[in-house]
Chains A and B, each alone.
Chain A
């Protein structure tokens, strides 16, 4: 059994959370998000005042994004145990997970471009700021697909000793649905469905964070079980 590699991959998920929090929250101070209702000058001021920390913080966030690759792989590895020879849901999860990395990395790089020349025309800073936030908050589809197929794979597990407990399947479906309100931010500049709103941003963010912790626990349990002599 490749217990060590699996453990390494699972821990990458946690390192991602920590590194992303340090870079994106503590250094760049992108939490709470700037309101979509801010004027161009107000947006530009954010990038002008905190330029160095934003640049460095977003670099860490970009590095963190890559760490979700091994994380997705270890989930896929456990899903493949369920699916066996014809792992279509596992493949779907891998492809969606790969796209998910871009949803984490690309906004960080867009904001980096804004912070690269903070003295340029504020309208352009605002454009990049909008692009980053809309890409980051609204793009729920890869994560949605990822969570749905994890749920479906768990439900399809008819073994006497299933790989994952069934409640984890329901949990994944629930998480998937909660990511959907992010898709509404295109309509709003204020309120709960704006990109800084409680239902479009905060709820999915908290749930996404919790999903990592729950999946991590269940993965660890499985990896340890696999390591036991049969």
Chain B
């Protein structure tokens, strides 16, 4: 827990980016639901070919990674950088697992001849999950940076701003997927 009340997690600037990103993905969600309403049957049939287990498993992976990150931040606050680095590594591993599952999922779809131009549903499916995957990859870069920071013997309290900024970005990656999963895989 942060020491003071009214504490902005990380630097203020990162929230310009996080809130901006939430705004844009919010718009993505609405565009998807709007166009879905114009041709519900097509979206239902296309959705039925998705493997929900991949989507659900990936949700669990990202939730686990987020929990590791929360624990890592607490350890970093308690000045135990080594422990924080271990927990960040576990989160990174979950992120890599997410990427691996997505890779398998995309390969299956492409092998079945389903591409971005197959129909509107799959256009959104590829573009939204692709953009989200880009966030996962950027987030994994951020986590790697935090692992290096936390391991360094010079790790100090002033580095907490960096740690919190990076952690907030990783949670953003998690929360966007929490909405994308029911939107693409589950809604009927």
Contacts and interface: CB of A to CB of B under 8 A. Distances in A.
User: Do A and B have CB atoms closer than 8 angstroms in the complex?
Assistant: yes
A173 interface: yes
For chain B, the bracket of interface size reads: 10 to 19
A174 B27 contact: no
A198 interface: yes
A170 B16 contact: yes
A9 B19 CA distance: 31
A187 B127 CA distance: 12
A193 B123 contact: yes
B14 A170 contact: yes
A78 to B, nearest CB: 17
Contact of B20 (A166, A174, A187): A174
A199 B28 contact: yes
A164 to B, nearest CB: 10
Interface in B1-43: 11-14, 16-17, 20-21, 24, 27-28, 31, 35
B172 to A, nearest CB: 12
B13 A166 contact: yes
Nearest to B135: A177
Contacts of A169: 13
Given A178-B24, A193-B123, A198 B12 contact: no
A203 B28 CA distance: 11
A166, A170, A188, A191 — which one has the most chain B CB atoms within 10 A of its CB? A170
A203 B13 contact: no
A167 interface: yes
A81 to B, nearest CB: 19
Interface in B100-130: 116-117, 120, 123, 127
Contacts of A30: none
